[in-house]
Chain A
Amino acid sequence: MMIKAYGDTLNDGAVQLSFTLPVASGPKADEAARIYTGKLGFEECEVVHSNPLSDDFTFFVVYGKSATSLDYSKVVVEEVETSMDFYEVNQFIKEKLKRKIVVVGACTGSDAHTVGIDAIMNMKGYDQHYGLERYPEIEAYNLGAQVKNEDLIEYAKKVKADVILISQIVTQKEVHIHNMTNFIELMEAEELRDNIVVCAGGPRVSNKLAMEIGFDAGFGRGSYPEHVASYVVEKLFEKQRK
């Protein structure tokens, strides 16, 4: 089935556009906008509105019709792995886990960079993605940077953590790997490893690397708080059902 944009008649191909050109307002600018829209592939272009934004910029609203059509039967979408968002995570905890969960996070070892753990945990969040502290169903403790693995585990025991998050930014001489390995060994020695979900994060921490060392998951560059939250609540639910 071939399809086109629909204005008021099937296959009219009518499209509404708005954009700014870096030129002074006036009849010449309007004509430029009309020609430009034509070059974008539209026909019967009509500049219905224009307004100066400053001496050197003008804003336009333009209508045009496009002859381009598309075979809808050939459209394929990839199944993308989606994570829950802020609201869905909280809902999931309320409905499935039926209690608030406790998350402790820190940047461990000598690493003084809190940027990673802050991005995931801080109230304000990062890039418009709220941090775990803002999740009403999560009790989040961000211990900051340069936290010893021993102290982190001690704190996690004190607050009865369900989840521990470790951030590793500095990777010089593979220091992050030694540090992460040491953490897992301590967790096993304390017989806590099976009860607590543990995740690692950092620009050079991949899911594969973290799992090899013995973490449940790893979160690399581009991870947002809701990705971490989605993963841990589902993991906790899975554990709960066992």
Chain B
Amino acid sequence: MESKLGLSADTIERCRSIAKEIVNPVQNYIQRHTTDSVERATLRLLGADLINDNGVPVPNIIVSQLSDKIQYGVAQYYINGLLKLNCEPDELNRKIAGGLDLTELDMVDKKYINEKGQELVETFSQRVKLHRSFRKEKIEKASDAQPSPLLYVIVATGNIYEDVKQAQAAAEQGADIIAVIRTTAQSLLDYVPYGPTTEGFGGTYATQENFRIMRKALDETGEKTGRYIRLVNYASGLCMPEIAAMGALERLDMMLNDSMYGILFRDINMYRTFVDQHFSRMINSFADIVINTGEDNYLTTSDAYEKAYTVTASQLINESFAHESGMPEKLMGLGHAFEMNPNIKNGFLFELAQAQMAREIFPEAPLKYMPPTKYMTGDIFKGYAMNTLFNFIAKATNQGILLLGMLTEAIHTPFMQDRFLAIANAKYVMNNMGDLLSDMEFKTDGIMQKRAQEVLGQTESFLQEINEKGLFDAVERKMFADISRPKNGGKGLQGVYEKAASYWNPIEEYLNGELGIQKGMM
């Protein structure tokens, strides 16, 4: 594709290879480590579920029973339990919830554990493959009715049953993607709550049962409207891989999943996050789940005009990490946002240049474009106008996923009519300027070309600087979002373990094979 912005293909290539150099040493660390959450996700994919009387999930119980054996991989102990008690996961889960201690069982021959492991992996794999083909078929059938970009809205009542009503209404109005935002601070819980939930603050708990309830509701609306409605949740925080696992099992379609968001914005330990994001993305890749990365957060923190290059750099790093997890470009919903101060002269041109630049650097990725939030006020009329300009850029630069701005942003969680007005706005813009992109060229050496070239140049220098320091040190030295995160600080470090030479994880082995992941330098 020829660059409309006159971006140098060589510079882009250099940026990409520096990003890979930045990721390499981190990947080396990742390959040698596992975490509590990676192990719990593995258990969930093998069949572990339920909670005990105190609300502690079975995967957490198992991991704490095996605290001194995690380095070997906990899967074998769970599978050993199945073999020793000659039962299926459901029954074993009930027994563990009832107090059974897996460490008290003698170990059977590794050969049998291997065999049983393959059987459970096969069950997991069949389930996810069925989901994949179901989704693919529905999307192909609905292809005429699915616009580009796809329209994404959020529901956040705290009550999953109320969320269903709001989500179904939004889908009927034309929303293609429904995100159920999580309750405040779920990302800092080191376990996943269980069952349907009706109370949350600023959002609804991510639980496997809530996933099922919303999935069923959206499938109903999809049938009714002849479309496929995609469901989103958040594979982030201390349970990142477990949420990814639950999403794969319940056919979620997208996951917010960033390689560094948790470190910078939630103060989760960097080693924990890097290991967790890798395993999460392997699961997402296998389940055909589109990830959405969180670069918009850099712009709500720092100035969107001055720090635009940090977004591009982070997109390249996110891309590189995703490649290491075997993820194809079509699943990389790299994020960015329309967050420049509306009072800047020519701000719209700079936003347009940035969005087009992302499009050109990542031609295959379904870019996730986030609406104005930082400069939204109580003036709903101005807000609606800003959202129109935002929608214009999304369509003009062919973004893949359009998170719709709400005119009441900064006032309250959306009223039902707010989502309707947002969808109506987007549909109007998308239809009215449908083919603008193919009919539009950028003036050579004009404001937009110059701006994009300048940002790309800054991106290269920034990546070089990170590469010289190394990513771990760069994060410690405040190079991202002006925030310092010490290597051994933050939450969750105590849940990171160096793998023993005999570490065994049948899910990881299977996914490595399926996704063609080369094991890095060991």
Contact = CB atoms under 8 A, between A and B. Distances in A.
A26 B424 CA distance: 19
Given A122-B266, A134-B301, A144-B491, A53 B420 contact: yes
A128 interface: yes
B267 A20 contact: no
B185 A123 contact: no
Contacts of A136: 482
B266 A133 contact: no
Contacts of A128: 410
Contact of A123 (B267, B417, B491): B267
Interface in A133-157: 133-134, 136, 142, 144
Nearest to A143: B489
A20 B417 contact: yes
A142 B417 contact: no
A188 to B, nearest CB: 29
Given A123-B483, A124-B265, A115 B185 contact: yes
B264 interface: yes
Is the contact region of chain A dominated by helix, strand, or loop, or is it mixed?
mixed
B173 A133 contact: no
Interface in A2-26: 18-20
Interface in B133-188: 168-169, 172-173, 184-185, 188
A142 B169 contact: no
Contact of A59 (B297, B301, B417): B417
Interface in A106-129: 114-115, 118, 122-124, 126-128
Contact of B483 (A20, A54, A55, A133): A133
A238 to B, nearest CB: 28
Interface in B390-428: 410, 415-417, 420, 424
A127 B184 contact: yes
B481 interface: yes
A19 B265 contact: no
A237 interface: no
Nearest to A18: B417
Contacts of B482: 136
B64 to A, nearest CB: 16
Interface string B334-356: 00000000000000000000000
Interface residues of B, number: 25
Nearest to A145: B491
Nearest to B303: A136
B271 to A, nearest CB: 16
B417 A54 contact: no
A115 B183 CA distance: 13
Contacts, number: 56
Contacts of B168: 54
B303 to A, nearest CB: 9
B172 A122 contact: no
B58 to A, nearest CB: 23
Interface string B224-266: 0000000000000000000000000000000000000000111
Contacts of A53: 169, 172-173, 416-417, 420
B184 A57 contact: no
B491 A122 contact: no
A137 to B, nearest CB: 11
A111 to B, nearest CB: 15
Interface in B284-327: 297, 301
B416 A127 contact: no
Contacts of A54: 168-169, 172-173
A51 interface: yes
A122 B379 CA distance: 28
A55 B185 CA distance: 35
B202 interface: yes
A126 B417 contact: no
Nearest to A140: B483
Contacts of A19: 417
Contacts of B410: 128
Given A115-B185, A134-B301, A124 B417 contact: no
Contacts of B424: 51
Interface in B465-522: 481-483, 489, 491
B404 to A, nearest CB: 15
A118 B416 contact: no
A124 B266 contact: yes
A122 B261 CA distance: 13
A21 to B, nearest CB: 10
Interface string A37-64: 0000000000000010111010100000
Interface in A46-96: 51, 53-55, 57, 59
A57 B202 contact: no
Given A123-B481, A136-B482, 19 more contacts: A18-B417, A19-B417, A20-B415, A20-B417, A53-B169, A53-B416, A53-B417, A53-B420, A59-B420, A114-B491, A118-B188, A118-B267, A124-B266, A124-B297, A127-B184, A130-B301, A134-B483, A144-B267, A144-B491
The 7 closest A-B pairs by CB, nearest first: A54-B169, A59-B417, A124-B265, A123-B265, A20-B417, A54-B172, A53-B420
Interface of A: 18-20, 51, 53-55, 57, 59, 114-115, 118, 122-124, 126-128, 130, 133-134, 136, 142, 144
12 contacts: A19-B417, A20-B415, A20-B417, A59-B416, A59-B417, A59-B420, A114-B188, A118-B188, A118-B267, A123-B483, A127-B184, A134-B301
